[in-house]
Structure 1
Amino acid sequence: MATMNISIPDPMKDWVQSQVDTGAYSNTSDYVRDLIRQDQNHRSKLEALQAAITVGIESGISNKSFDQIIEQVRHKLKSDNT
């Protein structure tokens, strides 16, 4: 495992230590690794959302009504869950 040294202001250090002190994390490295995992997950979801938005924009204007689109999505979700 690689080692990384970072500098943070005292209030941030105190915050990290308070999170460790709650028992939720075994040490400061565990806390920082969790933050990085959360950021990776967040960015992955954001990229997927942006890709879906791009697909939607590039698909053009639909001739279906809003209600038809919603019904089609509901039907697809039901089909995917069975």
Structure 2
Amino acid sequence: MSTMSIPLPDALKSFVDEQVSQRGYGTSSEYLRELIRKGQGCQQLRSLLLAGAASALTALADVSYFEGLRDLVRKSASPRTKV
């Protein structure tokens, strides 16, 4: 694992310290790692959305399309799960 040192203005350092204590993180490093992971997830989602927007239309997403998706989920859900 690599180490990174990040200088922060006092106001940002105070904010990070508050988030660590209020959200139950053990250290400021844990909090910052979580923010970075969320940023990665947002970037991946953005890439997928842009790829989807650039792709050709394959099916019309109308009422029957969504009903079919719901049926598929109901069939694959466990008997105790209510969808």
Which residue of 2 is the match for residue 4 of structure 1? 4
Partners in 2 of 1:13 and 1:38 — Cα distance? Answer: 20
Aligned residues: 74
Matches within 5 A, 1:2-81: 2-55=2-55, 58-59=56-57, 69-81=61-73
Query: How large is the Cα RMSD of the aligned pairs?
Result: 2.2
Task: State, as a whole percentage, how many aligned pairs show the same letter.
Answer: 29
Structure 2: runs of 5+ lacking an equivalent? 76-83
**TM-score, normalised via structure 2 length:** 0.73
Partners in 2 of 1:23 and 1:73 — Cα distance? Answer: 40
Structure 1: runs of 5+ lacking an equivalent? 63-67
Offset at residue 79 of structure 1 (A): 4.7
Which residue of 2 is the match for residue 65 of structure 1? none
Offset at residue 80 of structure 1 (A): 3.7
**TM-score, normalised via structure 1 length:** 0.74
Structure 1 ranges of 4+ moved more than 4 A? none
